[in-house]
Structure 1
């Protein structure tokens, strides 16, 4: 039986079984109505013809959710992962997302905070307080939201200033020196004017042990937010929001598995230098071996203003947003070894502004509509022409010499063998003698500067019409146009007498399975003949149409067809690219079909929402880390088929059960330029055919189960919550290295406490079983490339694992 037939049968059986349930006697408790703004107007979540999960203020507090990362614990379709720093966070919905490490690779999951679009996913992490609700819209949302949201939308709404004074103070302490303070205060200034302020400060000691240097993975961040609400008339209001965030922390380091060749190289260096401890070669022990750790500094600011004016027949909304950030990730020892080989300072800066204008009709009894326009502009810079991004350090010559010895051992079995190098005509042009420092010498410097400017415009119309009292049609259309200009400039400074062999100019003896020996690191990362300047524009017409049927009160059946669009872009990465064909990638187009059902049973004590979907991505933008650099190109077609189920059940007067499950079949239907793992032989140049292979970071099965108990106690309320998350077998590796294939795993969080109108005291624990799970596996920064060049039988790699067990207490006071 085909997947589509099986999934459709399961979809129908589950919903029919619930609809056939016999209603019980009405009880006091009912599931509260959830109001969402998924279609840019406030509506009941149960009447919106799209898959949306909304988490309100009370549920956020019950779960102890601090940032969007915690949301994935209860929304299986949402995958959030971070590697080196919070700035590199990636969101994936239904298996589709981007690599956060590539700053010009715009996210397929759009993050909106109070309606304003965030240019980087990492700008929305760990900086939000006074959150009122978070909505996760699953599937392409290119009509109302635009700006590349081909996977979905995360929409965060914070509390607006009000006309009553209130304040809260929250303090949290936990293991590993966790300290967090949150303060929020609302101050009415007059009948027309109110202001709200909030601050959050978080610190945590490092949780990643480093054998040879300072430990990593600490927290140190401060976020401030101020708002002003001005009701300038009975019909109009203006809301201004300003915020700032500052981070200064030791970031996470990849836990490296060293190939046997690199273990030999390290042993050789120990002999030469008389130092360099080698620890357990275990990439899952959260223990690294680097002379220096990584540091991360972020300074970001944003400002938004939203104005609303209600006329008799229409409402006018105007939203303006501005953000500016500077982020520096200092890979002080990018070689990931117990020696100082090379440093890499990844400096990024961005500035963007956005405008959105909407007209919405007020009389929406039978026909409702929205028309609007959106403009977005962004300037981005990576690197600095005056700062050396790459610097070779004091142990690089010994490392190069040890590589020469291992190279000779691999090709001849004799570490004293002088390896001949031949040109493409078969003429010997050089030899690599044992001990030759082929990586360069201390003081060599590589520079790069990448710049991109983006201008994006969209115009849209969206409406719904009630054909009958139980039948409604929703349709929308959007025109999008995006233009980008880009440049990337390399330069380098080498020691006197040093030079670089152009990549691929010299080949080895055909008996040796190598293609080039251009190993000077600065030559590899800063090829001066590989600069780039270009630009392009992309445009498309996308739309959506849904048919909603309300067969009985409290139930909705809908069918949706929609298309999506994501603009193309440029690989503004260091390293070698084969001309414009590799520097540029094309736009992505999406065709999406969905059947959904939303129902409430048992006198609103049981809710079941389900969605069956099939999404086709044409020219899907895919990213791969190939060691030293990321490359984005286009897969000819990606197909994502799936089924989602979400249910809430009020069992008795005290217990609430929530469960969700997602089944995904996400695959490269056709991909001729796919990633190659270390053991795969390229089918065309440096790429491999991946037709029929699964999309990474997309487990076939995932789910969550949450139980919460609430009961009156001591003039207040006792509450207890347990959240259980299941992630099926998955491959969290962009290059699809089979060594990173992981078995299913489970995570358990718990929280219990007591509260009344003035106090809230809670004990909590996360990952209580201390599960070791892989967040991302990838090629090692430099060692994997060296392994390839010297013909190592196996390749080194690095891993990033999830947060270990943590526990603590939170005390909150209301004023």
Structure 2
């Protein structure tokens, strides 16, 4: 690890070391300035100074959230280089990765490695609760496994969101935003005391924006239309006890992002064939980075979700009791009107999901700690999830399926001759002949054919834990933690279909590979997506004992050095995806175990005008749960071992009374140490059956180097303050594609945001811009939904692929009023 870190920092020395040097030089030239404010966190379920906690944690308070204009988690990643947020077809599919480790948000039964907690309540889906950041007091990002106090499968880290509590004072705020692409946003909050001990607080946020993704064949995509409401009631029933009830609701209704497709030459031939016959379907430039798509219908998304949290805190003479109960439910429909990603009505996919969950946590901690403090507790979680609707077909072939099938047959015939550039009419005739003689084989099926699936999963989880801190000496603390976790899951998956001619072949029953270089004649979409022999029922349970051991040393005032050894656990699960799976051997994946080592330091320098935190870590994942999109579905299996070595630096410096500088940098060496059953991208040759070894390769979505620089200037002006803020984020080489296709390797890029404003105690107005240089950058890439499958079955030399790029340049003005 050491040599790799030295190499990385020799390459990027200018970014890291020059920033630190500039801070030091500034400190010697500037007269006395105010001290940094203390940052308070609850990372260890107690209120502590961030600088006293032996955990790599970044905390963003309410004022900084406002100064930075953070509206969602994507904005937050600008502040935290080790946090990667990716979203593709809908905000419900958002995924969070910390230090390179995370999960695909598109797999609803794949529990996130980065745990999201809102006011202490665990969120079963990453896309729940954070479409709008409403009335937030602070956000804490805990990096690395946190498996003792946060036991629900948090093998990568924790995002803890704390909203503003109700209080005894009448106060309120109103925020209005207008921006490019007709952006309109409203946020409001009000705190109302009902009696001397009973208070209520309400927050609401709504956002609308016109589409920013051009679609030349139908309605445009990538619009925003969402609203969130949050209400709270707090009763301080005594001087030592309080009860807090929280309810939140979110609704989304919008045309979301469509995959920007690059068609293979084979698929261009197919589409041009259809266009010549139907006289419609103008082709867009075949550029997967131009934010322009060619789909006859947009992708439409509906979400309706609600959650409730009830918490109680009571202090006895020597003990504090905390109780937390939660309930959440959601329903989401993602309607891929043309999942074929073409200007023709070929195939529709209605992805319907609904779920509900509840949890209960009890914690008991001592509050008279002198040398020894402890927290003990238990956590229970239960969830029920359903995907699909037995009354409505999830897949349906549409009016242009016949023409598409004929064109596929023509292209198959052309490629069989080894002459892909041959004249079209000859092979059109062969395609028509194949359609007549072999209906559905190898073509896509008949209009009106439907496939149904229903998947269900029940999850029950139980954990008991003990966490303690012992003062060995006045400047030395020993922290220990232990947790027992047990998880049980049961799952079912059922398929049905309605077809004009049920001509499905068992997969690979006719193997043409030795003769023609083709895997099978079966390309009927309904057959491939809803095979009748794919029904499944299974259950399993997993358990583990995990723990942490940490030593904290305060060699001098305002300096902490720590070393931590910990283990983690993530239960196994089931692939509840459509498509062909071979029973338990492919449906089930094993539990994941984590071993983590970290040494770090936290220090405040120059009379507390500079804060410098660093962490050096090495994390090993045994049976790492890896997800890959393979064209028609996502698949999860286990990599034998994944290792993440890295170094993080964070610093904040009050250079002058007016200027605050913040810098952060992360170096990662995140790799598959051993992965024999890795995914194969389109042009890869399998070396292990249908798999490709990934031993020694970097894991996707984990740039080797990333960093940020933020400068904020504040100057008194007109009985208020003028302020200016610039934020720079650098992301190094990375591969944001789960199938490891080298075509998607992304060069380094940077993003630049800026803000100019004026404020006083009751008024704030700011002009802002995001991605000011209008950088085009890749968030995620993968095979085309159906096009890559057809490419394979027609023996195309390349596979079609799709991309999801980041937000383009936006600008606007925000007005805030405070009472």
- TM-score, normalised relative to structure 1: 0.96
In the aligned structure 2, how far is the partner of 1:172 from the partner of 1:183? 12
In the aligned structure 1, how far is the partner of 2:231 from the partner of 2:90? 26
Return the offset for 1:660: 0.2
* Two-structure CA RMSD over aligned residues (Å): 2.4
List runs of 5+ in structure 1 lacking aligned partners: 421-428
Matched, 1:41 2:46: yes
Partner of 2:233: 228
Show structure 1 runs of 4+ deviating over 6 A: 7-26, 417-420, 429-437
Partner of 1:697: 701
In the aligned structure 2, how far is the partner of 1:783 from the partner of 1:142? 41
Partner of 2:65: 60
Contact 2:103 2:110 (C-alpha < 8 Å) held by counterparts: yes
In the aligned structure 1, how far is the partner of 2:322 from the partner of 2:439? 71
Return the offset for 1:609: 0.2
Matched, 1:630 2:630: no
Contact 2:226 2:250 (C-alpha < 8 Å) held by counterparts: yes
**1:132-151 residue CA offsets vs partner (Å, 9 max, x unmatched):** 00000000000110110000
What is the 5 A alignment of 1:574-613? Answer: 574-613=578-617
What is the 5 A alignment of 1:759-798? Answer: 759-798=763-802
Partner of 1:652: 656
What is the 5 A alignment of 1:451-490? Answer: 451-490=456-495
Partner of 2:3: 3
In the aligned structure 1, how far is the partner of 2:243 from the partner of 2:272? 66
Residues 454 and 541 from structure 1, CA distance in 2 versus in 1: closer, same or farther, beyond 3 angstroms?
same
Partner of 1:425: none
Return the offset for 1:718: 0.7
Return the offset for 1:15: 14
Matched, 1:619 2:623: yes
Return the offset for 1:6: 3.9
What is the 5 A alignment of 1:409-448? Answer: 409-412=414-417, 413=419, 416=426, 438-448=443-453
In the aligned structure 1, how far is the partner of 2:694 from the partner of 2:311? 46
Contact 2:33 2:609 (C-alpha < 8 Å) held by counterparts: no
In the aligned structure 1, how far is the partner of 2:468 from the partner of 2:31? 36
2:564 to 560, 567, 576: 560
Q: What SS does the corresponding residue of 1:212 show, helix, strand or coil?
A: coil
Matched, 1:802 2:798: no
Contact 1:294 1:331 (C-alpha < 8 Å) held by counterparts: yes
Bigger shift: residues 696-705 or 272-281: 272-281
Contact 1:591 1:616 (C-alpha < 8 Å) held by counterparts: yes
In the aligned structure 2, how far is the partner of 1:325 from the partner of 1:435? 38
Residues 583 and 419 from structure 1, CA distance in 2 versus in 1: closer, same or farther, beyond 3 angstroms?
farther
What is the 5 A alignment of 1:282-361? Answer: 282-361=287-366
Residues 7 and 269 from structure 1, CA distance in 2 versus in 1: closer, same or farther, beyond 3 angstroms?
closer
Return the offset for 1:624: 0.3
Bigger shift: residues 519-528 or 430-439: 430-439
**1:696-744 residue CA offsets vs partner (Å, 9 max, x unmatched):** 0000000000000011110001111000000001000000000000100
Partner of 2:248: 243
Return the offset for 1:675: 1.0
Q: What SS does the corresponding residue of 1:101 show, helix, strand or coil?
A: coil
In the aligned structure 2, how far is the partner of 1:169 from the partner of 1:619? 49
Return the offset for 1:758: 0.9
Residues 552 and 419 from structure 1, CA distance in 2 versus in 1: closer, same or farther, beyond 3 angstroms?
farther
Residues 356 and 14 from structure 1, CA distance in 2 versus in 1: closer, same or farther, beyond 3 angstroms?
farther
Q: What SS does the corresponding residue of 2:152 show, helix, strand or coil?
A: coil
2:550 to 531, 546, 552: 546
Matched, 1:402 2:413: no
**1:769-805 residue CA offsets vs partner (Å, 9 max, x unmatched):** 0000000010000000110011000110000000000
Bigger shift: residues 13-22 or 243-252: 13-22
In the aligned structure 1, how far is the partner of 2:7 from the partner of 2:385? 44
Matched, 1:69 2:74: yes
Residues 58 and 715 from structure 1, CA distance in 2 versus in 1: closer, same or farther, beyond 3 angstroms?
same
Return the offset for 1:364: 2.0
Return the offset for 1:569: 0.3
Partner of 1:499: 503
Residues 419 and 353 from structure 1, CA distance in 2 versus in 1: closer, same or farther, beyond 3 angstroms?
farther
Matched, 1:643 2:644: no
In the aligned structure 2, how far is the partner of 1:398 from the partner of 1:748? 47
2:275 to 270, 279, 301: 270
Q: What SS does the corresponding residue of 2:217 show, helix, strand or coil?
A: coil
In the aligned structure 1, how far is the partner of 2:89 from the partner of 2:507? 29
Matched, 1:571 2:598: no
In the aligned structure 2, how far is the partner of 1:646 from the partner of 1:304? 34
Q: What SS does the corresponding residue of 1:191 show, helix, strand or coil?
A: coil
Return the offset for 1:124: 2.8
In the aligned structure 1, how far is the partner of 2:750 from the partner of 2:8? 28
- TM-score, normalised relative to structure 2: 0.96
**1:61-83 residue CA offsets vs partner (Å, 9 max, x unmatched):** 00010111211001000000100
Contact 2:549 2:566 (C-alpha < 8 Å) held by counterparts: yes
In the aligned structure 2, how far is the partner of 1:321 from the partner of 1:686? 43
Contact 1:585 1:633 (C-alpha < 8 Å) held by counterparts: yes
